[in-house]
Amino acid sequence: MKKLLIIILLLSVLSSSVSAQIFGYLGGGLGATMPQGEFNEYTKTGFSIMGYGTIGMLKMPYVQLRLGLQGVFFEHDDRNVVFEGYPDDVFTETYTNDLLKATLGLELSKRLAAFEPYGGAGIGIYYFESKTELKDPDGEVIASNKLDSKTKFGWNLNGGIKIFMFPKVAFDFNLQYDIVQDLEQYSGEEVVSFNSEFLSLFAGVSIPLGVF
């Protein structure tokens, strides 16, 4: 009986969505992610790539559901190390930090001629990886450590503007701000935990999917 009720519910949602006429966008872009606050003490600005999809109903044309994906590859941090007893040998300690995230939220937008400003907020799942490598004076890796942070939940703010230069393609300028609690990463030989905030700026394209 429960399965039958679930099937009926899914069919009713599907039929109402079809009758409501669904529209959406697919988009993506490249940009930079800049750590803020305490996060900035341990991590440098990184290269970032993002993609997203939105879906809405013509009955509520200004409200859409947004799913976003982002990968951040922070700039390597190289530090020279000299060990006791080897004053003439300079070793290099390299810190590498990467971040993957997936976000889901609501977005408000309004088309004004060739421009469509938008903004919204949502929640996210964040995965952070921190790695250190010790290289000898010849550049060979002689030791390494990898720290996989547990999956964390956070908040995402999102805004930007689409500029329609062509009927089916828009330039998309996007800004995102994320807040994540208790991220862990290496600082020297220690593992530090802190609240992370970072700002991402993107330039890319957005493609309307039409009404279906």
Predicted confidence band at 175 (pLDDT cuts at 50, 70, 90)? very high
Question: Distance from CA of residue 71 to its chain's centroid?
Answer: 6
Q: Which residue has the higher pLDDT, 202 or 129?
A: 202
3-state SS record for 146-201 = EEECCCEEEEEEEEEEEEEEECCEEEEEEEEEEEEEEEEEEECCEEEEEEEEEEEE
Other beta carbons within 10 angstroms of residue 17's beta carbon come to 13
Predicted confidence band at 96 (pLDDT cuts at 50, 70, 90)? confident
Position 10 scores a pLDDT of 46
Residues 51-72 have pLDDT tens digits of 999 998 877 889 999 999 999 9
Position 128 scores a pLDDT of 85
Decide: 157 and 174 in contact? Cβ < 8 Å.
no
CA dist 1 and 13 (Å) reads 19
Structure tokens at 62: 């200004």
Q: Which residue has the higher pLDDT, 207 or 3?
A: 207
- List domains and CATH numbers for the chain: 30-211 (2.40.160)
Position 66 scores a pLDDT of 96
* Mean pLDDT of all residues belonging to the chain: 81
Position 182 scores a pLDDT of 75
Is it the case that residue 173 has pLDDT exceeding 90?
Answer: yes
